[in-house]
Structure 1
Amino acid sequence: MHIALTEEQTMIQDMAQKFAESELAPVAAELDQSKDLALFKTNLAKLAELGFMGLNVKSEYGGVEAGSVAFSLAITELAKACASTAVTTSVTNMVAEVIQAVGNEQQKQTYLPKFCNGEYLAGGFCLTESGAGSDPSAMKTTAVKDGDEYVLNGSKIYITSGEIAGCFVVWAVTDATARKGKGISCFIVDAGTPGMTIGKREHKMGQHASPTNEVHFDQCRIPVSALLGEENKGFAIAVGELAGGRIGIGSLALGIGLAALDYAKQYCQDRQQFGQSISQFQGPQWMLAERYTDMEAARLLLMQAAFLKDQGQAFATSASMAKLFAADKANKAVYDALQLLGGAGYIQEYPLERMARDVRITSIYEGTSEIQKLIIARDIFA
């Protein structure tokens, strides 16, 4: 693996950092409290204009075609300022990659430019159901073929960007007689399609600015042309794209962890106790030394997974390792950073309280830490 970043990767990282500092950081606390959707959408539109919604999309469809390493770097920088914006950017890129990977030429020409130019502010990834979370192959949503249409029935839950997505990739059972996981297909469903309704915004612990919704399908008719890839072979699409999504969520966790440590470091330098800066005491020094080491290890794991993906090599296990480590260590980093602030860390005037709520979900979505361990273990014993 070549550690040094290319000129393009460095440029994207710098651009993301500058945007995060100038546009996201000043309003992150406000967005957390107000959930101002108009302001949130404004920032998403600006990110699309800068190319961040099509980082791994080919240039012929309006994308940047920068690769997974650049994607990881960008999500990390955005997450340092606003986790809600970072997760929306990550999932939208994932939806675009699904369409690019398995869509036909007409589908790619129709949808990909809309993500890249900001016509679609976000994309929805409709996989999880109330009875099919860690085991998505147990989904109950169905798509029954009726002439030149499919009829969708069922519900999806915890869908990031549900109320602002321009389109959704949706998984449904198309062959109920097939063995588990083998009769599932993937479809593109446009926002506003009759029969599809978006549920209320969930009241979440963190990442408040990013809307999370249920998506319901009741006799929702979509054309046969909405099928992505081959019928009954959609589950493999989900498994493959979740692996790439884990690079995004691991990078998001890394960004939050680093931001928390940076804030705590400055606080320790400024805070006086017992006649000196608390940064002079071994306890805070060692806490920060351990957590920064964790974050550097997480960064290297993420870079390895992204590099393998860019090289067209098997990367699923590396992505699971990176996501597992980054999410768990970022949670530890944020809580240690909050501890270093003492009582101030528990007060909303300081950002650590928000970061503690925002980082918690990273060990749950795109596959829990426990599921990542299963994936890694299966590879070890294969």
Structure 2
Amino acid sequence: MVWIGIWLVFLASPVQDLAGGHHTTPATVLGWLGLAAFVVVYLALVFRFTSDFASWTAPGLSLLVLYGLGVVLAYGLGEDWLGLFVYVTVAMGAVLPFRYARWTIPCATATQIALGLRTLPLGEVIGSLGLLTLMIGFAMCGVRQLVRTTIELREARATVAELAANQERLRLARDLHDLLGHSLSLITLKSELAGRMLPAHPGKAAEQVADIERVSRQALVDVREAVTGYRRATLAGELAGARTALTAAGVTANVPSAAPDLPTAAEEVLAWALREAVTNVVRHSGATRCTVTLAVHAPHCELTVEDNGTGGAGTPGNGLTGLTERLAAVGGTLESGPGRKGFRLVARVPAASAGEGAPGPQAP
């Protein structure tokens, strides 16, 4: 809308010409009707057919109507209407592929120059209207390509996300097969063996049942460890999630593109701290900007999240209380409160505690 609104300034001359009473009443009425039809067709072309379309019928006919209205209005009502050809070339650049636009835009510009030569000198027509019309038309070709590239990029991102989800499902299926395939097969075999031994050899059957219990308990331990690993927060993943969440909430995000190489315990607890901090920024701060910094210097690994919102005056909630306890369990500290402009959170983990286990969400 901003882009279109800028170029609607070229309608000032036709409007002033009609409002100035320079034409007869029938010509003025037809001029207003023609101008209204021209604007409607132009807006429909730019907003509806800038990206791909299924059939050339509607956009092709609309371009012909727009070009015809421009010719008729400029020819019938005078030089003040020559600016309409700017919209004609913009519509051509927005709708047509470049292999067609590179010919139609110069043709429309030539038509404008030919109509202008009836009342204006050649130098003025070319210098003040022709070059401007030509350049704006080709500039719109670049805008069209930018729109198409943006659409393709969004589609590619959606495809990458779907592929990543499929890859994760395959990894989960493979890990579950590796974890449970052997154990369940062994349990099945021992169950069948115990069933055959039970009438004649109850003692040996009891041994098989004990083995079944041992294998089952080990399989349960393996599954719990696997689930805990799946649910473990990673700093790289939380950085990407923070950038996405802040951007979606309309907050300008200054987030590192990569996470430093940290020990597992330090990385996990800082990842949880980042998640909690970003959640608070999105939900409670009303901020327009958020900055995340990571620093690794002995004896601390430090995460700082600072915004320019109004969420720094309240009492710490359950999230920050739990985060303080999580950090304290590994010898870390949490500082939170008003910053220079908004709210500031600093989480530190001692390097000496980085190798120790950090509490995380427990598997059910």
Specify if TM > 0.5.
Answer: no
More helix by share: 2
More strand by share: 1
Greater CA radius of gyration, 1 or 2?
2
Q: TM-score of the superposition, structure 1-length normalised?
A: 0.28
Higher relative contact order (CA 8 A, sep 6+): 1
